[in-house]
């Protein structure tokens, strides 16, 4: 087994990184290796601190964001720490290199009125209309990531108590489902979702026309379709609905810890950006109401 295969096995089975994170780390590492080839360095173990710094500066010149560069540095650092711990290099070329500071971006959100308009778009009483209604309602009711919503299985929904369970790498979090979303989900599950799919465990909750699990790409297309129908002049994404869910919760009195647990954030500082966005919205509304030329 070569070093890259060993490292891939290490981050997945020892560090227990999620599949998405593991793939991102390996992809970042491959891009760094490609850069080394361009400067005629065939062995990644020969990369020096100067080379790593030059690579990061190169990414900056290409317009990569601070958060993207930080992640790529973290990916490279993780690999060199792995080599160092196995005595395959004598020093870590990323030692003491600091990630660029990320600007705090206020997340783009929909107003409650825009959410209502978007969620009212699936009107047809057929498989697609009822499925899409259930998905959109569930997304806004729970703040799930798109990867989480397409990964849901039938057994993850606890209909008797209006809860859903998110399972990720051995971890679980339980999220309440609002009444409107639960009604839409129940109609889809009881009437429109093919029942012959329930014979085995791990049955996809949301299916495409072929009876297979709906993909991330399929869900994005659905969002774009209803955005166009709703005539909302914003680039609506599944993550924007997640942002909107969080900000609307905080605006209506939810405490930060609860929002953190529902969203599955490991660090509450990630959740705090929604409080900042909520405050900005509040200031904007007060300004509009109070200033004579607003």
Q: Which residues carry out catalysis?
A: 242, 287
- What is the C-alpha separation between 99 and 69, in angstroms, rounded? 7
- What is the C-alpha separation between 36 and 150, in angstroms, rounded? 37
Q: What is the DSSP letter of 66?
A: H
Residues forming a β-bridge with 164:
157, 175
CB atoms inside a 10 Å sphere around CB 246: 26
Axis-axis angle for helices 216-230, 127-142 (nearest 10): 90
Pick from 35, 9, 32, 31: which is nearest to 22 by CA? 9
- What is the C-alpha separation between 173 and 159, in angstroms, rounded? 16
How far CA 59 is from CA of 66, 104, 105, 111, 191, in Å, comes to 10, 20, 20, 35, 51
Hey, is 234 helix, strand or coil?
Answer: coil
Radius of gyration from C-alpha coordinates of the chain: 23
Contact 153, 198 (CB under 8 A): no
For 152, residues 6+ apart whose C-beta sits below 8 A from its C-beta are 164, 204, 205, 206
Hey, is 102 helix, strand or coil?
Answer: coil
Helix (H) / strand (E) element for 292: namely none
């Amino acid at each position: 087994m070569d070093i890259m295969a060993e490292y891939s096995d290490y981050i997945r089975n020892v560090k227990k990184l999620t599949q998405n994170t593991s793939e991102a780390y390996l992809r970042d590492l491959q891009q760094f290796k490609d850069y080394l080839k361009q400067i005629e360095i065939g062995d990644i173990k020969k990369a020096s601190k100067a080379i790593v710094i030059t690579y990061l500066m190169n990414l900056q010149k290409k317009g990569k964001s601070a958060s993207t560069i930080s992640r790529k540095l973290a990916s490279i650092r993780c690999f060199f720490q792995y080599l160092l711990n196995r005595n395959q290099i004598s020093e870590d070329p990323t030692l003491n290199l600091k990630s660029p500071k990320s600007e705090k971006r206020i997340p783009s959100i929909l107003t409650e009125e825009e959410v209502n308009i978007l969620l009212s778009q699936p009107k047809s009483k057929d498989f697609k209309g009822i499925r899409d209604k259930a998905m959109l309602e569930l997304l806004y009711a729970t703040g799930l990531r798109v990867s989480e919503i397409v990964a849901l299985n039938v057994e993850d929904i606890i209909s008797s108590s209006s809860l859903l369970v998110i399972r990720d790498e051995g971890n679980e979090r339980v999220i309440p489902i609002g009444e409107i979303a639960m009604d839409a989900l129940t109609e889809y599950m009881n009437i429109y979702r093919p029942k012959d799919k329930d014979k085995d465990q791990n049955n996809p909750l949301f299916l495409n026309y072929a009876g297979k699990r709906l993909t991330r790409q399929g869900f994005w297309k659905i969002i774009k379709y209803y955005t166009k129908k709703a005539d909302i002049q914003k680039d609506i994404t599944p993550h924007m609905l997640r942002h909107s869910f969080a900000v609307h919760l905080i605006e209506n009195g939810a405490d930060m810890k609860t929002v953190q647990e529902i969203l599955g954030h490991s660090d509450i500082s990630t959740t705090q950006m929604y409080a900042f966005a909520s405050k900005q919205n509040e200031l904007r509304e007060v300004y509009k109401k109070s200033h004579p030329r607003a």
